[in-house]
């Protein structure tokens, strides 16, 4: 199990006060805080090693290249990818998904084909497929969600057919927290001759993820949701698929030879990494991977399960609150979305902020899903390795205090 109090000492921001109150940070599904180890790595790179990669024979360039490629290898081992070349650096999960849409999918999707996704996707895993299927005269299908916030796998089996070319699914919903039975979905996709794209933005930071065990074809995630910096993400893909895919962007190190008439592309993974890459943030992502690996991802997952289980019980004690998604913490990640029957989520979030409590409010970039519950916005508390049950108590006490304030104001 995690020594949470010791972990908290590694995060400088957790010592600050917001509006005169100790910070209670419960917005981890949006982005996570950074430990000193990651911050120091960024500073050390710029102070000691800063140089461009792959292009120089001088000491700084060699050091920079070694650190950059070492970070790639750390990510490879973290998700058990078969080779480092199957790990592509991108800006974020959204860019990783768009890379697949603009390269593999454009080359393989034809009129009459279909792409299957789910009703609980982030916009980043809906809109690219909407645009692509419209351009290709193909169909976009959605696997529905049941009343408990779980995918209807019987419906999935019917929706995925011989004309399905791609299945695009979240591993963990950023709104409901629901964990997709991704192994089952992968088998359905492959049985139909389709490939599967996994949005792992909310799973890789929170649980052990093994791309070879999942047997997925593509998997995307972002560093900033797993203690790393913003502006850096990962696309994992099977090497044979990457070999066959055209480049996403052109220029710089993705080219091995250029004439005035034509160009030849570099080997993997550089074919998909045009221009000067985000060197420092890639290296800092390696530091974040080290931090999580030292904790043990099984321990991370179990800590979040316990916090989520406690949060579900405490938040349901507020009678006016409705919680969305699975009620069993073993079926979900560390996300609890809810609405208060008498207080708009934005009012609730603003009032909690005055107490130093940071939650998310809105449609969480999953507007169709949130609206399917008959609301336009929801409040969301999301947890990570440094959160405690005491912070959950502060959240619930804060909700009750806001409730009393609005009741008193209404009585006047």
Q: Tell me: pLDDT of 389 over 70.
A: yes
CA dihedral 247, 250, 254, 257 (to 10 degrees): 110
Tokens representing 317 are 């004690």
Q: If you average pLDDT over residues 20-24, what whole number do you get? A: 98
In degrees and rounded to multiples of 5, residue 228 shows phi and psi of -90, 180
* Per-residue exposure over 177-197, b if at least 16 CB sit within 10 Å of its own CB, e if not: bbbbbbeebbebbbebebbbb
Q: What's the rounded Cα separation, in Å, for the pair 51 and 30?
A: 31
Q: What's the rounded Cα separation, in Å, for the pair 284 and 73?
A: 13
Q: What's the rounded Cα separation, in Å, for the pair 10 and 37?
A: 8
Dihedral sign computed on CA atoms, order 6, 12, 13, 18? positive
Residues 346-364 pLDDT 10s: 999 999 999 999 999 999 9
Q: Tell me: pLDDT of 322 over 90.
A: yes
Q: What is the pLDDT of residue 1?
A: 82
Q: Tell me: pLDDT of 410 over 90.
A: no
Tokens representing 411 are 């009585």
Q: Tell me: pLDDT of 156 over 70.
A: yes
Dihedral sign computed on CA atoms, order 59, 63, 68, 73? positive
Q: What's the rounded Cα separation, in Å, for the pair 324 and 313?
A: 13
Q: If you average pLDDT over residues 227-241, what whole number do you get? A: 98
Q: What is the pLDDT of residue 390?
A: 98
**pLDDT band, residue 366 (cuts 50/70/90):** very high
**Residue the block writes with tokens 């497929």:** 129
Residues 120-151 pLDDT 10s: 999 999 999 999 999 999 999 999 999 999 99
Q: If you average pLDDT over residues 226-240, what whole number do you get? A: 98
Q: What's the rounded Cα separation, in Å, for the pair 50 and 59?
A: 10
**pLDDT band, residue 252 (cuts 50/70/90):** confident
Contact predicate 217/238, CB 8 Å: yes
Q: What's the rounded Cα separation, in Å, for the pair 227 and 14?
A: 13
Q: What is the pLDDT of residue 56?
A: 83
- Helices 279-295 and 59-79, axial angle in degrees (round to 10): 40
Q: What is the pLDDT of residue 218?
A: 98
C-alpha neighbours within 13 Å on the C-beta side of residue 41: 25
Q: If you average pLDDT over residues 283-301, what whole number do you get? A: 98
Neighbouring C-beta atoms of residue 409, cutoff 10 Å:
8
In degrees and rounded to multiples of 5, residue 162 shows phi and psi of -70, -15
Q: What is the pLDDT of residue 167?
A: 98
Residues 39-90 pLDDT 10s: 999 999 999 999 999 978 999 999 999 999 999 999 999 999 999 999 999 9
Q: What's the rounded Cα separation, in Å, for the pair 104 and 300?
A: 34
Contact predicate 89/74, CB 8 Å: no
**Can you state the percent helix, strand and coil of the chain, rounding each to 5?**
45, 20, 35
Q: What is the pLDDT of residue 253?
A: 85
Contact predicate 118/181, CB 8 Å: no
* pTM given for the model: 0.96
What percentage of the chain reaches a pLDDT higher than 70? 99
Dihedral sign computed on CA atoms, order 385, 387, 388, 393? negative
Q: Please, what is the average pLDDT of the chain?
A: 96
Q: If you average pLDDT over residues 3-13, what whole number do you get? A: 98
By the 10 Å C-beta count (0-12 exposed, 13-18 middle, 19+ buried), 72 is classed as buried
Residues composing the chain: 412
Q: Which residue spans within 212-283 are E strands per DSSP?
A: 218-222, 233-237, 255-258, 263-265
Domains (range + CATH), the chain: 4-26+297-407 (3.90.1150.10), 39-294 (3.40.640.10)
Contact predicate 265/247, CB 8 Å: yes
Catalytic positions are 365
Strand partners, 322: 339
Q: If you average pLDDT over residues 223-229, what whole number do you get? A: 98
Please state whether the peptide bond connecting residue 269 to the residue before it is cis, i.e. omega within 30 degrees of 0: yes
Q: What is the pLDDT of residue 283?
A: 98
Residues whose CB is less than 8 angstroms from the CB of residue 357 and which lie 6 or more positions away in sequence, other chains included: 21, 24, 26, 394, 395, 398
Tokens representing 128 are 């690219």
Please state the separation of Cα 176 from the chain's center in Å. Answer: 14
Please state the separation of Cα 21 from the chain's center in Å. Answer: 29
Q: What is the pLDDT of residue 289?
A: 98
């Amino acid at each position: 199990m995690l020594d949470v109090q010791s972990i908290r000492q590694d995060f400088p921001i957790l010592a600050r006060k917001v509006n005169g109150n100790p910070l209670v940070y419960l917005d981890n599904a949006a982005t996570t805080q950074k430990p000193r180890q990651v911050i120091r790595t960024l500073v050390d790179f710029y102070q000691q090693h800063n140089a461009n990669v792959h292009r120089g024979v001088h000491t700084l360039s060699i050091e920079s290249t070694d650190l950059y490629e070492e970070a790639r290898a750390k990510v490879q081992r973290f998700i058990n990818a078969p080779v480092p070349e199957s790990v592509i650096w991108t800006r974020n999960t959204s860019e990783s998904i768009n890379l697949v849409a603009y390269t593999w999918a454009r080359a393989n999707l034809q009129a009459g084909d279909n792409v299957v996704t789910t009703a609980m996707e982030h916009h980043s895993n809906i809109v690219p497929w909407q645009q692509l299927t419209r351009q290709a005269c193909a169909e976009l299908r959605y696997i529905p969600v049941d009343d408990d916030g779980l995918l209807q796998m019987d419906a999935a089996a019917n929706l995925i057919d011989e004309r399905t070319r791609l299945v695009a699914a979240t591993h963990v919903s950023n709104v409901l927290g629901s964990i997709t039975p991704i192994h089952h979905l992968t088998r359905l996709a492959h049985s139909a001759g389709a490939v599967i794209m996994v949005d792992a933005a909310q799973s890789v930071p929170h649980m052990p993820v093994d791309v070879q065990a999942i047997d997925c074809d593509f998997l995307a995630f972002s560093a900033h949701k797993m203690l790393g910096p913003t502006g850096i993400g990962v696309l994992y893909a099977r090497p044979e698929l990457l070999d066959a895919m055209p480049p996403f962007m052109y220029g710089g190190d993705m080219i091995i030879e250029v004439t005035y008439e034509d160009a030849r592309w570099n080997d993997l993974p550089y074919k998909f990494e045009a221009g000067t890459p985000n060197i420092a943030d890639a290296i800092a992502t390696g530091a974040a991977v080290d931090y999580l690996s030292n904790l043990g991802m099984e321990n991370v997952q179990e800590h979040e399960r316990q916090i989520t289980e406690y949060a579900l019980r405490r938040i349901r004690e507020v009678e006016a609150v409705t919680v969305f998604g699975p009620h069993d913490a073993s079926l979900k990640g560390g996300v609890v979305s809810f609405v208060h029957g008498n207080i708009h989520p934005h009012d609730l979030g603003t009032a909690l902020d005055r107490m130093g409590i940071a939650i998310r409010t809105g449609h969480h970039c999953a507007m169709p899903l949130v609206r399917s519950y008959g609301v336009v916005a929801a409040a969301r508390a999301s947890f990570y390795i440094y959160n405690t049950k005491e912070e959950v108590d502060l959240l619930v006490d804060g909700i009750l205090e806001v409730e009393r304030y609005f009741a008193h104001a209404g009585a006047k």
